[in-house]
Amino acid sequence: MSVMHESPKIPTEKEPAYEFYNQHGKEYADLQREFYSDVPDSGRRFFREALQEGIEHKIIADIGCGAGDDAVAYKQMGAKQVIGIEPSLQMLEEARKTVGTSGVEVDLVAGAWEHLPLASESVDAVTARYSFHVIQNLDRAYEEVARVLKKNGLFLIAAPHPKHDEKVIEAQNLKKGDRMRVPIFNGKFTVEIPPHTMEEYLSETNKKYFDVDDLVEYSMHEDPTETDPTGLLLKFRRK
Ligand SMILES: C[S@@+](CC[C@H](N)C(=O)[O-])C[C@H]1O[C@@H](n2cnc3c(N)ncnc32)[C@H](O)[C@@H]1O
């Protein structure tokens, strides 16, 4: 059976999260590479450790793959197949360049959480490195991930910690539905993202489809002066 959906739905909706990356995606990718060149990246380590065992048998879908660095890394780690999925055409173009110079094969497809261009029960792992919290409705995405994952398949998420979001809501005096403005990479870049609660991450829909294998609270930018966690790492397993 093919992994790709018979007729992949290319997103056409004007969604703020990928409109934003269409405009600022290249700058984000460049600054991220610069930032993590001398700062440890717990999120990346968590993902790679979770995927390592039996990776040669794994088909991995990296959703919101951005400039494609992680998709390439999973293939270089020996994954059977890696599919990078991105709604922002600018990011997809960046990913094409990254894959092109990597010497490995990664499939790149336009798509979004809301309509994953993948066949049902077709992949062994879905990864979301800072690309899941960017959407408003996490449950809709959980339904889609549950559809495409095989039984016991992994769903890995790195996201800002809800405690962090709570503080930003207070500091920026946000109302329901407002997006947060969060400076990252030493203040060189500001993302606009919706806040989320722990109840949204561990929702009833989530519990219906997934077991929690691991939940890690950490300092997203490895800042030792941060007392509360700013980052959340989740490892879910499809029931
Ligand atoms: C913060 S970037 C992270 C990119 C990459 N995973 C990384 O770690 O560098 C968020 C990515 O999510 C993508 N994105 C935005 N809305 C999305 C959606 N509805 N479905 C999937 N990805 C989305 C953006 O285009 C962007 O590439």
Averaged confidence pLDDT in the chain: 91
The SS3 assignment for 22 reads helix
Which of 21, 33, 113, 114 to probe ligand 1 with, by most ligand atoms within 8 A of CB? Answer: 21
Position 107 in a domain: yes
Cα 206 from Cα 197, distance rounded (Å): 13
Distance CA 207, CA 202 (A): 7
- Give the residue numbers spanning the domain of 35: 16-238
In a domain, 2, yes or no: no
DSSP label at residue 41: -
Q: Which CATH number fits the domain that encloses residue 51?
A: 3.40.50.150
Q: What is the pLDDT of residues 156-213, one digit of tens each?
A: 999 999 999 999 999 999 999 899 998 888 888 888 899 999 999 999 999 999 999 9
pLDDT at 151 over 60: yes
Element (H, E) at 135: none
The Cα–Cα gap between 1 and 56 comes to 18
> Based on C-alpha coordinates, what's the Rg of the chain?
17
140 within a domain of the structure (yes/no): yes
Name the helix (H) or strand (E) containing 177.
none
The tally of domains found in the chain comes to 1
* 4 belongs to a structural domain: no
Place of tokens 């094409």: 96
CA–CA separation, 196 and 53 (whole Å) = 31
Q: Does residue 129 belong to any structural domain of this protein?
A: yes
DSSP 8-state symbol, 230: -
Position 198 in a domain = yes
Tracing tokens 């790195």 back to the chain, one arrives at 158
How do residues 152-165 score in pLDDT, each as one tens digit? 999 999 999 999 99
Residues flanking ligand 1, CB < 6 Å:
15, 17-18, 21, 32, 63-66, 70, 86-88, 91, 112-114, 129-131, 134-135
Confirm if 28 and 40 have CB atoms less than 8 A apart.
no
**Residue 108: which of 120, 96, 126 has the closest Cα?**
96
In a domain, 154, yes or no: yes
